Amino acid sequence: MNKIIVFFFSISVFSACAPDKPKNAEEFPTPEQQKTALKEAITNPTKGLGAVKNVTLHHPIEQDRVTRGLAIYEMKCSACHKLTDQRIVGPGWQGVTKKRAPEWIMNMITNTDVMLEKDPEAQKLLELCLMRMPNQNMAIGDARDVLEFMRKNDGEK
């Protein structure tokens, strides 16, 4: 019975998609862009490993992105992450935008497997939590929405 529940939960997690996801050219980087991003990430590890190189934060926070980010959080993230500092399966999200660069957060969301294999900070989280974050197959636009929701959760306006 537990295997059936795990199977259906896995299917629902992997098949879930975010509502109103924005489309942009950055969502699907070319292999050349991926190679360039990897080289840059090695020279600047605080940004993580992945296609996200620079994030421009807007003030005030874009509320439509926060709304989409909340929907994505509820659908894909809330089972493992609390909005407080409490750790469940993964670390709590309170204060994460104060500790990590926006690029690192987005790369962790969109390039989970490589981050856990090669990024020192992601590896420390893995040692702490003892559970690999699953790859949710999120587009860069979705990751930006989640980032904006995290910023709002951390009290930014």
Q: What is the mean pLDDT of residues 136-153?
A: 97
Tell me the domain boundaries of the chain: 2-153
Fold category of 2-153 in CATH:
Cytochrome Bc1 Complex; Chain D, domain 2 (1.10.760)
Task: Name the residue with higher pLDDT: 49 or 7.
Answer: 49
The residue written with tokens 């989640």 in the block is 146
State yes or no: pLDDT of 60 exceeds 70: yes
Task: Name the residue with higher pLDDT: 3 or 68.
Answer: 68
Nearest alpha carbon to residue 92 among 43, 51, 129, 146: 129
**Whole-model pTM over 0.85:** no
pLDDT band at residue 48 under the 50/70/90 scheme: confident
Q: Is the dihedral angle over the CA atoms 92, 93, 98, 102 positive or is it negative?
A: positive
Q: What average pLDDT does the chain have?
A: 83
